[in-house]
């Protein structure tokens, strides 16, 4: 199953590669087998990048699930200056180009804030990428968890962030909330008394692994 954000790219890539194959056969291009192998490998990478595996999420209203696949690279107390304007626990998950890049809602509830910010393309693990890079910020509220903020952040390779969250929309935990094309990261901001269930450098799966529990 492939994400809808990749349908046009997959079809166009397939068409271009097929045309190149036909041209090489017609003109009997030397070393065409190696070129064909490279093109097939390239197409497989595209398919892998846009894959969208089914994930079943049913972890209860107090649990915050990972919005993306990747590795936990930050767990620290910070001052969140855009929306809360107070101290929160920041938990960040870094996605490499080979990870699934679908973003999923970490909790169910009502979208109370959704904003896009243009910006730079620093490497995703750079300390200033959370506030300087192109990004989107979304806040979801429900009665059990209160307000949970997550932020899609573009990296050095990510040149397009797709965000489906619309203010006042009722959403369900684990459903698609967007897509980030190529390597990037997602920050989640939690209450200071949240119980963190993951460790630094731990690999997590979106909509499957519980990052934290709101006490």
pLDDT digits (tens, 9 = 90+) for 153-197: 887 665 578 899 999 999 999 999 998 876 688 999 999 999 999
State residue 174's pLDDT score: 92
Calpha distance 56→71 (Å, rounded): 20
In percent, how much of the chain has pLDDT > 70? 90
Instruction: Give the lowest-confidence range in 51-65, 88-102, 188-202.
Output: 51-65
- pLDDT, one tens digit per residue, over 69-91 is 999 999 999 999 999 999 999 99
User: What average pLDDT is seen over the chain?
Assistant: 87
Calpha distance 134→116 (Å, rounded): 8
Contacts of 17 (CB under 8 A, 6+ apart): 39, 40, 42, 43
* Position 127 pLDDT exceeds 60: no
* Catalytic-residue membership of 184: yes
* Position 133 pLDDT exceeds 80: no
In percent, how much of the chain has pLDDT > 90? 56
- What is the fold, at CATH topology level, of the domain defined by 63-213? Glucose Permease (Domain IIA) (2.70.70)
Q: Identify the active-site residue in 114, 130, 177, 184.
A: 184
3-state secondary structure of 112: strand
Instruction: Locate CATH 2.70.70.10 in the chain.
Output: 63-213
């Amino acid at each position: 199953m492939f994400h809808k954000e990749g349908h046009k790219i997959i079809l166009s890539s397939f068409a271009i590669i097929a045309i190149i194959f036909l041209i090489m056969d017609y003109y009997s291009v030397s070393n065409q087998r190696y070129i064909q192998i490279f093109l097939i490998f390239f197409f497989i990478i595209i398919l892998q990048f846009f894959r969208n595996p089914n994930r079943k999420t049913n972890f209860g209203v107090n649990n915050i699930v990972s919005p993306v696949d990747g590795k936990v690279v930050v767990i620290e107390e910070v001052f969140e200056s855009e929306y809360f304007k107070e101290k929160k626990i920041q938990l960040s998950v870094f996605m490499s180009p080979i990870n699934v890049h679908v973003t999923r809602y970490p909790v169910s509830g009502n979208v109370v804030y959704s904003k896009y910010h243009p910006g730079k393309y620093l490497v995703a693990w750079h300390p200033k990428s959370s506030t300087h890079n192109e990004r989107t910020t979304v806040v979801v509220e429900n009665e059990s968890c209160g307000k949970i903020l997550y932020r899609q952040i573009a990296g050095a390779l990510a040149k397009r962030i797709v965000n489906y969250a619309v203010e006042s929309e009722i959403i369900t935990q684990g459903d698609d909330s967007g897509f980030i094309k190529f390597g990037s990261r997602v920050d989640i901001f939690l209450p200071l008394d949240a119980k963190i269930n993951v460790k630094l450098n731990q690999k997590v799966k979106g909509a499957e692994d519980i990052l934290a529990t709101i006490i």
